[in-house]
Chain A
Amino acid sequence: MALIIEEWNVKPQAGEIGIEIEMEGRNLKIDDILGWRAVHDGSLRGESIEYVLKTPKSRNKVDYYLKILQEALKNSWSILLPSNRCGIHIHINCQKLTTQQVFNFIILYLIFEDVLVKFCGKEREGNTFCLRAKDAEALIDALIIAKKEGSLRILQHDNYRYASINISSIGKYGSLEFRAMRSLENFNEINPWINILLCIKDKSLEFNQSKEIIEAFSMNGYNRFSRQIFGNYFNLIKVENMNDLIVEGARRVQDIAFIDERY
């Protein structure tokens, strides 16, 4: 079974986490930040910058690089004024996963998507830059086709890029991009979000076939299933009507999960 790196011929990366932080403000530092580069982003307004990790980092190094960026901005008297135009995008390296494993990662994320986007910020719900599958159902339709074909090829298009989970980055970087988090002034708060995404990735690797995810959800119920995945982070993402939101999420992805695997 081919790995993503083999199938897509992307540039090999050892690190697991990539980060992009969109920021508006004043006196924003643009150079000499260890591990980071600053790039222009056309969707932002006024004085604005997107801070991008130069290369993906391992999960235990992310905190270090976030602290470096925070310190650099503080020391240069940058004033951070994130608006609803700004977001934080997390890339999770999937180069060494198979297509089936990536499908499982996507499906597990989409089950919890509603809950997770709420965690990311009220202004991110229905936001045009990070639409949920319930806002833009074309993603589900494309995933059904992709699953039938056994390839993510159909999703390698800008038509699917502004989803809360951007699958088109698989063909570019071999990563899944999670676009839902609002921009924060305190970069420490980014860590829990990254860890939540890693919980999903790690759990998804325990399943062989996608339908096992739905079966595990049905067997365990939402509470136990969620706690198994998120551990200590469960209480952080807990919201009102969580059960209903997750059940709806599971219903949304079951058409993808129950398609006969072609691997």
Chain B
Amino acid sequence: MFYDLQYAKKYLNNSIIRLEGLPILVKDVAVNLAKYYFIYYNSLPDTKKNKIVFLNDASLSFSPIPLGMLAPFTIRQSRINTVFMYRMPTRIWKIGLNIDNYDIKLILSEGLINKGVSYIYENIIITNEFYNTVMGNYPSYSSAIRISDKTGYATAFSRKFCIYNRKLFYTTVGQVGEIKEHMKPILFERFSYLKQVLDRDR
């Protein structure tokens, strides 16, 4: 897959790939005396321990990692936001997710953001919320409503949808409906085409 060591470094260093389905951050690629390539990496979100895996390990995945809604997204404790994260098909020679090939959109901001979106952008990959999004760990639809009601924060229940103040938000599109009595979601008329996607996700 990789032509030589420099090629592997160029494509993988500082990128996020997956090992046994879990996101890892590649710190460097090296080669041992037996000419086996291996990767120095950090697990996410805890980046404290350096670990090693052979580059030909079958449990490594170089496929694009799934992204989506991060809500509630807390950074520096007091700032509560809703962020939609996606990969860009950028013309760079990188395999995996890299600071140069992802982007975020701030959907809702419920607290002060002193350093703005750029701070979130640079630090998002080491957060628990990022990890949960990659893993698809979301509360159920009804749990998300309850959490949102209790905390007052937007809460995602899938990669595509989140709930805030009994309003239904979808990807970067914005508000597409409301939550009515008995937790029933009602899509606005012009977003009625989303019914099947919503039924699948809730």
Which residues of A are at the interface with B, using a C-beta cutoff of 8 A?
A: 43, 45-46, 84-85, 125-126, 128, 131, 135-139, 141, 144, 158-163, 214, 251, 254-255, 258
Contacts and interface: CB of A to CB of B under 8 A. Distances in A.
A126, A137, A144, A255: which has the most chain B beta carbons within 10 Å?
A: A137
B182 to A, nearest CB: 26
A124 to B, nearest CB: 12
Contact of B7 (A45, A84, A138, A159): A45
Contacts of A255: 171, 173
B87 A141 contact: no
B166 interface: no
A97 B122 CA distance: 41
B64 A135 contact: yes
A163 B196 CA distance: 27
Given A128-B95, A251-B197, A135 B87 contact: yes
28 contacts: A126-B62, A126-B63, A126-B64, A128-B95, A131-B64, A131-B87, A135-B87, A135-B89, A136-B88, A136-B101, A137-B67, A138-B87, A138-B103, A141-B86, A144-B173, A159-B88, A159-B89, A159-B90, A160-B88, A161-B91, A162-B90, A162-B91, A163-B89, A214-B193, A251-B197, A254-B193, A258-B190, A258-B193
Contacts of B87: 131, 135-138
Interface string B84-99: 0011111111110000
Nearest to B200: A251
List of 9 A-B pairs having minimum Cβ-Cβ separation, nearest first: A163-B89, A135-B64, A137-B86, A45-B3, A158-B91, A138-B88, A126-B63, A136-B89, A161-B91
